[in-house]
Amino acid sequence: MSDPRTITVRNDEKAGCYEAIVDDHRSVAEYTIEGGRMILTHTFVPPELRGFGVAEKLVRAALADARAKGLKVVPDCSYVAKFIERHAEFHDLRA
């Protein structure tokens, strides 16, 4: 597996997701933007990549973008909801 510290996340606005390609496996954090809110709907990391921090990198990128764009976040994805709950620095983003 590639070094998880070098995972690159990109925002594919057309597809409505943040994605990371690692060792030919695609991981995503899907979202929609509605009325000043980023609704994070689903996070998926293939079994081969789980446990390497890929989901965290995806969610951190999404939350950083939401903050930079002045959007509130609706965590419809259970992973995102737990992530925000566990990281106080993101509590202010919650819609």
28-55 per-position pLDDT tens digit: 999 999 999 999 999 999 999 999 999 9
12-17: which pairs have CB atoms within 8 A and are 24 or more residues apart? none
The contacts of residue 69 (CB under 8 Å, 6+ apart) are 38
Share of the chain above pLDDT 90, in %: 85
Topology, domain 4-26+47-93: Aminopeptidase (3.40.630)
List the chain domain ranges: 4-26+47-93
pTM: 0.92
